[in-house]
Amino acid sequence: MSIIEKSDKFHDECGVMAVHGHQEASKLVYLGLYALQHRGQESAGIASSDLVRLHNIKAMGLVADIFTEDVLGRLPGSLAIGHTRYSTTGDSALLNAQPIRVECNKGAIALAHNGNLVNAHTLRRQLEQNGSIFQTTSDTEVVVHLIAQSKEQTLPDAIADALRRIEGAFSLVLMTRDRIFAARDPQGFRPLSMATLPNASGRPSVVFASESCAFDLIGARYERDVKPGEFVVVGNEGVHSRIFAAPRPQSSCIFEHVYFSRPDSVIFGRPVQESREALGRELAREAPVVADLVVPVPDSGVTAAVGYSNESGIPFSFGLIRNHYVGRTFIEPEQRVRDFGVRLKLNPVQHLLKGKRVVLIDDSIVRGTTSRKIVRMVRDAGATEVHMRISCPPTISPCFYGVDTPSKKHLIAANKSVEEIREYIGADSLAYLSLDGLKRACAEGENVTYCTACYTGKYPTDIVDVEEIEPAPVAWK
Ligand code: AMP
């Protein structure tokens, strides 16, 4: 690996969806985004085409709050794409919401992107030197400028040309007045799947989504994944596939299996639920402990805890209950309640935990603050021992490909040993799953190879952000 420049890190976690050839295209995209809401809760948008004009509506907030019947009525046509996004870019968040819609020399285009580009800074500088005027601070806008500036004559050729120039993670859906394009970067970082939906007109509609759970909700049938380095064009003439770049070693994000995707999705050809249960089984074999109860941190630790319990024979119990209706802001009582923020979301079931030796299972420790509070809560509820088990290796390096991880100085495992972390979170014992165990559980080698950079610091692209990965001391309180 050579570190050659500062990359972009927009902390974008996103879901994308597209429908071609359906009289209720925008409604189907809305439903798909609803199923993909876990991939981003900050803003959402849908663009549709009635074959004459592109319509585009985006706003801050949750999909179901933004897209009322009335709003969807303003998104007519048989083609639509959509996007849901989590980002930490603050004020500029609505500006950076997607789909991005532009009118350029190649016509009207709308674009939605999941993943982070690592060479967007350099490309943006070059494009600006050539006169491009950017409207947003998002890396995705670079793609539309590259398409507009391409010397290629046809739009598919201009898109292929643009896709060859961008580096990093991109699962893209793009719409013109009469066509949908779906593309995945040559390393296949983020998921993107294709499905068909029976249609009254006889010809099935074609659907794309980040995760297969979006297909289930609209009754679409999963066909296949968009391949790394492939872009699929759907138009009146049918479905066409082309390879825009030579294949590279596949680096699909293993964290999609660990945490990010919904367990009812099939990602990179493998059911997420199966991976998560196998993670728990591997963990039980690698890090056994004598205990009375296996308790998941809901929801992220639930399936791995089922696997841990089945493998170890230690009974599973929902010893922590999650409130699913916690909003963004809340009023704190004047009298200080310890760990109020976490307690609002999670509450221990005292009669289950009292007097018990508990194995707590979660998917990951990032900064360590959540685990510390949860361990304390379980202890306060009367548990006699708390053993923390994590269903992946220590997170030691930030992600540059679309998962929101803090820079290295805030990652506890980049700064402390496992024993020091155990002490910090206050557990009686702490163990993480090994990298080999993680890969086995996610079936690496069968049909997929993974990016594990957040656990190894070995990045599968040349460009990463030097500042983000250079260790800097931080005071852990
Ligand atoms: P922390 O307090 O930073 O250690 O937070 C750990 C918790 O955050 C775990 O319960 C994880 O399930 C969750 N988590 C890990 N990665 C992410 C992410 N990229 N986005 C949101 N939550 C995450």
How far is the centre of ligand 1, averaged over its atoms, from the C-alpha of 27 (Å)? 32
Return the ligand 1 atom nearest residue 370 CA: 2
Which residues, in sequence order, are bridge partners of residue 114?
Answer: 171
State whether the beta carbon of 366 lies less than 6 angstroms from ligand 1. Answer: yes
C-alpha–C-alpha distance, residues 230 and 172, integer Å = 11
Question: Once rounded to an integer, what is the mean pLDDT over residues 375-399?
Answer: 97
CB 448 within 8 A of CB 252: yes
Evaluate whether 109 touches 202 at the Cβ level (below 8 Å): no
Both 232 and 290 in one domain: the answer is no
Tokens for 134, please give them.
């950017």
Is the Cα dihedral 85, 87, 93, 96 positive or negative?
negative
Residue of 88, 366, 430 with the most ligand 1 atoms within 8 Å of its CB, for mutation:
366
430 lines ligand 1 (CB under 6 A): no
77 CA distance to ligand 1 middle (Å): 39
Listing DSSP states for 212-258 in one string gives THHHHHHTPEEEEEPPTTEEEEEETTEEEEEE-S------EETHIII
Task: Tell me which of 85, 259, 401, 416 to substitute to probe ligand 1's pocket, judged by most ligand atoms within 8 Å of the beta carbon.
Answer: 259
Among 186, 217, 248, which residue terminates a domain? 248
Task: Determine whether the shortest distance from the Cβ of 453 to ligand 1 is under 6 A.
Answer: no
pLDDT in tens, 133-160: 998 888 899 999 999 999 999 999 999 9
In a domain, 474, yes or no: no
pLDDT of 12:
67
Does residue 331 fall inside a structural domain? no
* Ligand 1 proximity of 291 Cβ (cutoff 6 Å): no
Same domain, 122 and 166: yes
Q: What's the confidence (pLDDT) of residue 233?
A: 98
189 and 298 within one domain: no
Give the residue carrying structure tokens 């690592």.
118
The residue among 297, 296, 287, 290 whose CA lies nearest residue 313 is 290
Q: How many angstroms separate the alpha carbon of residue 116 from the centre of ligand 1?
A: 19
451 is catalytic: no
Please tell me the distance from the alpha carbon of residue 279 to that of residue 276, in angstroms, as a whole number.
Answer: 5
In sequence order, the β-bridge partners of residue 184 are: 171
Q: Are residues 368 and 446 in the same domain?
A: yes
SS3 88: coil
Could you tell me the residue range of the domain that residue 241 belongs to? 14-248
Ligand 1: distance of its center to the CA of 180 in Å? 34
Residue 367 Cβ < 6 Å to ligand 1 = yes
Give the H/E segment covering residue 208. Answer: strand 205-209
Two tokens, residue 350 = 């005292």
User: Does residue 12 line the site of ligand 1, with CB under 6 A?
Assistant: no
Let me know whether 237 and 129 are in one domain: yes
Whether 358 and 220 share a structural domain: no
How far apart are the CA of 86 and the centre of ligand 1, in A? 14
Mean pLDDT along residues 341-345: 86
Mapping DSSP to helix (H, G, I), strand (E, B) and coil, where does residue 100 land? strand
Least confident of 265-269, 318-322, 330-334, 444-448: 330-334
Q: Is 276 in contact with 304 (CB distance < 8 Å)?
A: yes
In a domain, 5, yes or no: no
Q: φ, ψ for residue 71 (rounded to 5)?
A: -65, -45
CATH number for 110: 3.60.20.10
Reply yes or no on whether the pLDDT at 472 is more than 60.
no
Q: Does residue 44 sit in the same domain as residue 97? A: yes
- The phi and psi torsions of 82 (rounded to 5 degrees) equal -150, 170
Compute the mean pLDDT over every residue in the chain, rounded to the nearest whole number.
Answer: 92
**SS3 assignment, position 295:** strand
